[in-house]
Structure 1
Amino acid sequence: MLARPWLPGVELFHADFSGQPFGRHSHDAFAVGAILQGVGGYQCRGVRHALPAGTLSLMNPEEPHTGHAESERLVYRMLYVEESRLPALLGRKRLPTGFRELNPTDDGAVAAGLARLAEAFERADALTLESELLDVLERVFVRHGGLRPAAPAPRDGGVTRILRDYLENHHAEAVSLECLAGLVQRHPRHLIEAFRRAYGVPPHTYLLQRRVREAKRLLLDGQPPLEVALALGFYDQAHFSGTFKRFTGVTPGQFRHAARA
């Protein structure tokens, strides 16, 4: 189970098991899951359900159900979000009415979002984690939970320039969506949308690009990759190396070697 103290009421669970049944129970949170491998099964609302890989598993708070694996091995990822947290996370006056269909098929977008969210949880990057969480919640509740699509964000009003300047000047620090939202007095959903329109990428991607740009300069100055990773706020050297390669096509070590050649 993955959770962060600065993100209360939100947990991510990755299960990989076979043969372990779960008796009748309920959760005090919305559950959003994706079957990654095998076939899951449960009984709810008087119906027995089988969930093959590629199916979503959705559950409303306090809805009794059982759970078991219908295949030799079952792998799934499940996000739990307490209902009381939705107003702050979604920034809506009208909240989701609840999931109508419990195991809809998915085009892969929600499952991919959960995978990105899991990666962000592992690396404890606040800005990326909060951004991916908001994306998953918007996507799944609009598609399956009765949430209306978001209204267009207000006019820019100079907020994206303020955000960009802040990210430029604080690129080595831990930055959160709450911090950025407070800076410009906009809900995170609105500021992400406005920033993407202005610069082509969301704030967390812009921040990573800025860190990689600075990393190049430090590597060319002869600093070791580990020192660069720690100086620029990366979780560890593996996180730094993966991010650097994502934006440049080479690892930090390969970049240093090529620069010296």
Structure 2
Amino acid sequence: MSGNRLQVRPWLPGVELFHADFSGQAFGRHSHDAFAIGAILHGVGGYQCRGVRHALPAGTLSLMNPQEPHTGHAETERLVYRMLYIEESRLPGLLGRKQLPRGFSALNPTDDGAVAEGLRRLAEQFERGDALGLESELLALLEQVFVRHGGLRPVQAAPRDGGVTVRLREYLEAHYCEAIALEQLATLLQRHPRHLIEAFRRAYGVPPHTYVLQRRVREAKRRLLGGEPAVEVALALGFYDQAHFSGTFKRFTGVSPGQFRRTAI
């Protein structure tokens, strides 16, 4: 049995998300040309690395440095995990740091679930193909993992942003129905994407991606009350599909678009 999936986007080179769900499959000795950041979701995974045999139960992380030889197998009948592969050369640009993290010393540390949740949100954004959401989740996850487990020092927040967040908010207000990429915003405002996200969060309480979704929901309310069909509203406001629209609407309002319209009549 195998339910493996590999998620990639052509506009995000050097980044792959692998969802593994299999029984009876083993991986021979190999290495990756990328950092690997994974979380065991079900069962127990096993591998040999650095001359030691490791067993990873659900709830632990699986971290691997580039070019580190290892094997891989399932200790239990079924094994489910998510693994993010990020090429080493992509990290300075994505993290906004001049120097790379020193790498992972502990390969299978326990975690409080935050990394696994970050991988889940990342997988969700891969499915939707929303560039702003996907890149935002990716940067947040990389910062979290390399600060917690890779020896990276947290970045000190800049006390002032020189009006950047105001200009970013004005841009999002003017283009919230469109597909927006972090690289596009970074070029426009001449700031690193991660700096934009953190500065915006400090100023408005939410990251840019959440702000855009909230703005779309506010406009959706107006259009629904005006009698527009929900499917047309979803497409006009840049949602991936009807399910994405309904789920987002309920997340911010507590009711589905149909319930909102019925209670408002």
TM-score (normalised: structure 2): 0.96
- Displacement of 1:32 in angstroms is 0.1
Matched AA of 2:130: D
- Displacement of 1:55 in angstroms is 0.3
Cα distance in 2 between the residues matched to 1:241 and 1:191? 28
CA-to-aligned-CA distance 1:186-242 (integer Å, 9 cap, x gap): 111111111111100000000000000000111111111111111000000000000
Is the 1:94–1:147 Cα contact (8 Å) retained in structure 2? no
- Displacement of 1:154 in angstroms is 5.6
Query: Which of residues 229, 234, 239 is equivalent to 1:229?
Result: 234
Helix, strand or coil at the partner of 1:165: helix
Query: Which of residues 15, 26, 30 is equivalent to 2:31?
Result: 26
Query: Which of residues 14, 21, 36 is equivalent to 1:16?
Result: 21
- Displacement of 1:147 in angstroms is 1.2
- Displacement of 1:153 in angstroms is 3.0
Q: Counterpart in 1 of 2:208?
A: 203
Cα distance in 2 between the residues matched to 1:236 and 1:107? 32
Helix, strand or coil at the partner of 2:7: coil
State the aligned residue count: 260
- Displacement of 1:18 in angstroms is 1.2
Q: Counterpart in 1 of 2:258?
A: 253
- Displacement of 1:180 in angstroms is 1.3
TM-score (normalised: structure 1): 0.98
Q: Counterpart in 1 of 2:64?
A: 59
Is 1:121 the counterpart of 2:126? The answer is yes
Cα distance in 2 between the residues matched to 1:15 and 1:225? 35
> Is the alpha carbon distance of 1:175 and 1:7 closer, same or farther for their aligned partners in structure 2, counting shifts above 3 Å?
same
- Displacement of 1:51 in angstroms is 0.1
Query: Which of residues 117, 132, 151 is equivalent to 2:156?
Result: 151
Is 1:219 the counterpart of 2:198? The answer is no
Stretches (4+) displaced over 4 A: none
Cα distance in 2 between the residues matched to 1:40 and 1:102? 13
Cα distance in 1 between the residues matched to 2:206 and 2:184? 18
Q: Counterpart in 2 of 1:239?
A: 244
Matched AA of 2:247: G
> Is the alpha carbon distance of 1:92 and 1:85 closer, same or farther for their aligned partners in structure 2, counting shifts above 3 Å?
same
- Displacement of 1:43 in angstroms is 0.4
Cα distance in 2 between the residues matched to 1:197 and 1:106? 26
- Displacement of 1:156 in angstroms is 1.6
> Is the alpha carbon distance of 1:205 and 1:189 closer, same or farther for their aligned partners in structure 2, counting shifts above 3 Å?
same
Q: Counterpart in 1 of 2:3?
A: none
Is 1:101 the counterpart of 2:106? The answer is yes
Helix, strand or coil at the partner of 1:5: coil
Is 1:193 the counterpart of 2:214? The answer is no
Matched AA of 2:34: A
5+ residue gaps, structure 2, are: 1-5
Where does 1:58-97 land on structure 2 (aligned, <5 Å)?
58-97=63-102
Cα distance in 1 between the residues matched to 2:134 and 2:202? 21
Matched AA of 2:199: A
Cα distance in 1 between the residues matched to 2:187 and 2:156? 20
Matched AA of 1:249: G
Matched AA of 1:104: P
Matched AA of 1:123: R
Say what the alpha-carbon RMSD is for the aligned residues: 0.8
Q: Counterpart in 2 of 1:137?
A: 142
- Displacement of 1:151 in angstroms is 2.7
Is the 1:14–1:77 Cα contact (8 Å) retained in structure 2? yes
